């Protein structure tokens, strides 16, 4: 009998391993560890508690030069993620001139050309993925150049990463509604891009922000129930609110119908082990995607884009 083909690779991180294992078990996905924190499965199920997800094909190879030739015949540019047989993989990557990791300056240019990615299964087989979930950040590492002076919190990195991954732009034409905005890292990102920003939070943001940005206002209140006036003018809605994802789900399900809204970025924060039903409900909202970001803690990030 033929052994079933591996269909999926899951790239995980130590701090979310328990969530990944719990989600895999709940969905009946049997995983085996290919290399530390890289799991393979014969299932094609997309799991959400992953740094990256690859649907893979297997490509046989005889030597390093043969692997290089074979991959180059499929595509000119490649990404490589080390797994097992790290050195051999690195030599293939060198042959393909895969660029070394470098820090990303935000905002990064929008990349329309997506690279496929590869890793090694064993000494004679490559795993190849045409479209990694994380696009050109195969494996899930998104190392942004940090600004340790301007933003009032490190949370700003999550919004920068989500915008970069999902190819989303904020400009001076946008009206951004930032829910659960304090101390103001996300608002700092949006205001730096020239947008008008309304911050809603129960507690006061960093006052320095109002000296720096003129198109910034703060409203003390409940981010789950912003007034209609703020909602109806928003072109972008972001939320890093520390609130129950189930309550946020109810709100965003209505907000997808807002007239001017182009996109939403919302952090889903869980106390204890996450509620897989709520995650599935977010994932089922059309035109949305769920990521576990490089800069997320015990969180997921839900991104919705209005259909064109
Ligand atoms: C992680 S912090 C947000 C950090 C922020 N994104 C930044 O970049 O600095 C979460 C915030 O959510 C706020 N929050 C929690 N529940 C809220 C609610 N129902 N309405 C408004 N703000 C809320 C908290 O007061 C807290 O300031």
The Å distance, Cα 73 to ligand 1 centre, comes to: 50
Lowest mean pLDDT among 105-109, 148-152, 213-217, 231-235: 105-109
Nearest to 246 by CA among 272, 219, 281: 281
Cα of 295 vs centre of ligand 1, distance in Å, is 17
Q: How far is the CA of 242 from the centre of ligand 1 (A)?
A: 5
Element (H, E) at 304: strand 299-305
Compute the distance between CA of residue 219 and CA of residue 222 in angstroms, rounded to an integer: 9
Say how far residue 44 (Cα) sits from the centre of its chain.
Answer: 20
User: How much of the chain, in percent, has pLDDT values that exceed 90?
Assistant: 94
Q: What is the mean pLDDT of residues 18-46?
A: 97
Is 48:23 a contact under the CB 8 Å cutoff? yes
From the CA of 239, how far away is ligand 1's center (Å)? 8
Averaged pLDDT, 126-141: 96
For residue 114, name the pLDDT band (cuts at 50, 70, 90). Answer: confident
Instruction: Take atom 23 of ligand 1 and give the residue whose Cα is closest.
Output: 180
CA atoms within 13 A on the CB side of 80: 26
> For residue 280, is pLDDT > 90?
yes
Q: Whose CA is nearest to atom 8 of ligand 1?
A: 185
Q: Tell whether ligand 1 has an atom less than 6 A from the beta carbon of residue 226.
A: no
Give me ligand 1 centre to Cα 66, in Å: 53
| Ligand 1 nearest atom to the CA of residue 152, by list position | 9
CA 30 to chain centre: 24
Q: Which of 151, 201, 203 to mutate to test the pocket of ligand 1 (most atoms within 8 A of CB)?
A: 201
Cα(198)–Cα(196) distance, rounded to whole angstroms? 7
CA-CA distance, 25 to 95, in Å (whole number)? 39
* pLDDT for res 112: 73
Residues 145 and 136: their CA atoms lie apart, in Å, by 17
Instruction: For ligand 1, say whether the CB of 184 is within 6 Å of any of its atoms.
Output: yes
Our answer on whether the CB atom of 144 is closer than 6 Å to any ligand 1 atom is no
Residues paired with 219 in a beta bridge: 200
Does the pLDDT of residue 21 top 80, yes or no?
Answer: yes
* Cα angle for residues 12, 99, 81 (degrees, 5° grid): 25
Question: Which pLDDT tens digit goes with each residue over 242-276?
Answer: 999 999 999 999 999 999 999 999 999 999 999 99
> Residues 150-174: what's their mean pLDDT?
97
Residue pair 172/195 in contact (Cβ under 8 Å)? The answer is: yes
Which residue lies with its CA nearest to atom 13 of ligand 1?
Answer: 180
- Cα(229) to centroid of ligand 1, in Å? 20
pLDDT in tens, 44-92: 999 999 999 999 999 999 999 999 999 999 999 999 999 989 899 999 9
Ligand 1 contact via 183 beta carbon (within 6 Å) = yes
Q: What is the DSSP letter of 46?
A: -
* Predicted pLDDT at 101: 82
The angle formed by the CA atoms of residues 250, 256 and 259, to the nearest 5 degrees, is 135
Question: Distance between the two ends of the chain, CA-based, in angstroms?
Answer: 47
Query: pLDDT at position 4, please?
Result: 85
3-state DSSP assignment of residue 32: strand
Q: Which of 180, 207, 246 to mutate to test the pocket of ligand 1 (most atoms within 8 A of CB)?
A: 180
118: left (phi over 0), alpha (psi -120 to 50) or beta: beta
**Per-residue model confidence (pLDDT) at position 1:** 65
CA of 181 to the centre of ligand 1 (A): 5
Task: Check: CB of residue 107 under 8 Å from CB of residue 166.
Answer: no
Q: What is the pLDDT of residues 281-291, one digit of tens each?
A: 999 999 999 99
Q: Residue 308: pLDDT band by 50, 70, 90 thresholds?
A: confident
Could you give the 3-state DSSP secondary structure of residue 181? coil
The H or E element containing residue 219 is strand 216-220
| Mean pLDDT computed over every residue of the chain | 96
């Amino acid at each position: 009998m033929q052994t079933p083909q591996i269909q999926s690779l899951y790239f995980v991180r130590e701090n979310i391993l328990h969530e990944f294992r719990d989600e895999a078990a709940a969905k009946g996905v049997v995983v085996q560890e290919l290399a530390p924190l890289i799991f393979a499965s014969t299932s094609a199920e997309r799991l959400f508690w992953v740094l990256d997800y690859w649907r893979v094909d297997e490509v046989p190879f005889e030597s390093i030069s043969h692997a290089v030739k074979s991959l180059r015949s499929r595509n000119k540019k490649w990404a490589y993620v080390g797994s097992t047989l790290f050195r051999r993989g690195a030599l293939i990557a060198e042959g393909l001139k895969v660029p070394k990791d470098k820090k990303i300056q935000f905002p990064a240019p929008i990349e329309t050309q997506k690279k496929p990615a590869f890793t090694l299964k064993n000494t004679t087989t490559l795993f190849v993925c045409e479209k990694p979930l994380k696009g050109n950040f195969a494996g899930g590492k998104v190392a942004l150049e940090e600004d340790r002076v301007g933003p009032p919190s490190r949370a700003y990195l999550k919004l920068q990463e989500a915008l970069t991954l999902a190819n989303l732009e904020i400009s001076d034409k946008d009206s951004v509604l930032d829910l659960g905005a304090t101390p103001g890292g996300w608002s700092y990102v949006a205001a730096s891009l020239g947008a008008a920003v309304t911050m809603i939070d129960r507690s006061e943001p960093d006052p320095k922000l109002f000296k720096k940005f003129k198109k910034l206002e703060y409203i003390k209140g409940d981010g789950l129930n912003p007034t209609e006036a703020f909602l109806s003018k928003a072109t972008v809605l972001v939320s890093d609110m520390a609130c129950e994802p189930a309550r946020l789900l109810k709100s965003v399900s209505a907000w997808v119908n807002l007239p001017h809204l182009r996109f939403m970025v919302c952090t889903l924060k869980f106390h204890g082990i996450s509620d897989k039903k709520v995650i599935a409900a977010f994932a089922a909202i059309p035109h949305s995607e769920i990521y576990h970001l490089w800069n997320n803690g015990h969180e997921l990030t839900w991104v919705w884009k209005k259909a064109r």
